[in-house]
Amino acid sequence: MSRAPHVAAATGSTSEAAIRQLYGLSEQALLDMGDFVGGTLKYLRTHPVATLTLAGGFAKIAKLAAGHLDLHSSRSQVETAGLARLLAELGAPPDAVAEAQAAAGAGEVLAIARSLGGDYEAALTRRIAAQARDVALACLAGATSVEVAVFDRAGALLGRVGP
């Protein structure tokens, strides 16, 4: 059996369905990753494929961007202060940055970015995706090309970066 040149690993069923539809991937090209991105990347380091797409919601990808390889809520937390710093770097007004620092979670920070209008939501999503991609590439040690795609809860693509 030959290996698929492009596989996708998703954090949940919504992002899996969305990435499958986006690329027309077969069932055999989908990896059941869930919260265990570290285990998935470790496996792919020794069993490389040409292209990997990591797909997930904003909060899960934000955890990966912060270096967490186990994305379960009991083992890693979203760092809203880091998301607030990214908003500040993107030029968000100080009151929005303060609101983001006090946010209860990543979804709330994303909503703040969305409420600012303009490109804030897309820019924040791309930054998080790029940081998550850097973490994944470091784990894979260059054996695989990586894309990171971020979806909302309805499966709409918020942003992606890679290969």
Q: How far is CA 159 from CA 19, 70, 91, 141, in A?
A: 12, 22, 19, 24
Neighbours of 142 (CB within 10 A): 9
Reference 61, options 131, 146, 161; nearest CA is 131
Q: In whole angstroms, how far apart are CA 142 and each of 69, 88, 136? A: 17, 31, 10
Q: Give the pLDDT score at 122.
A: 96
Mean pLDDT taken over the chain: 92
Residue 83's nearest CA partner among 96, 73, 74, 71 is 96
124-155: per-residue pLDDT in tens? 999 999 999 999 999 998 778 999 999 999 99
pLDDT single digits (tens) 59-102: 999 999 999 888 877 677 788 999 999 999 999 999 999 999 99
Predicted pLDDT at 2 = 53
Q: What is the pLDDT of residue 123?
A: 97
Q: What is the pLDDT of residue 112?
A: 97
pLDDT at 163: 80
The pLDDT, as a whole number, for residue 74 is: 67
Calculate mean pLDDT across residues 38-49. Answer: 92
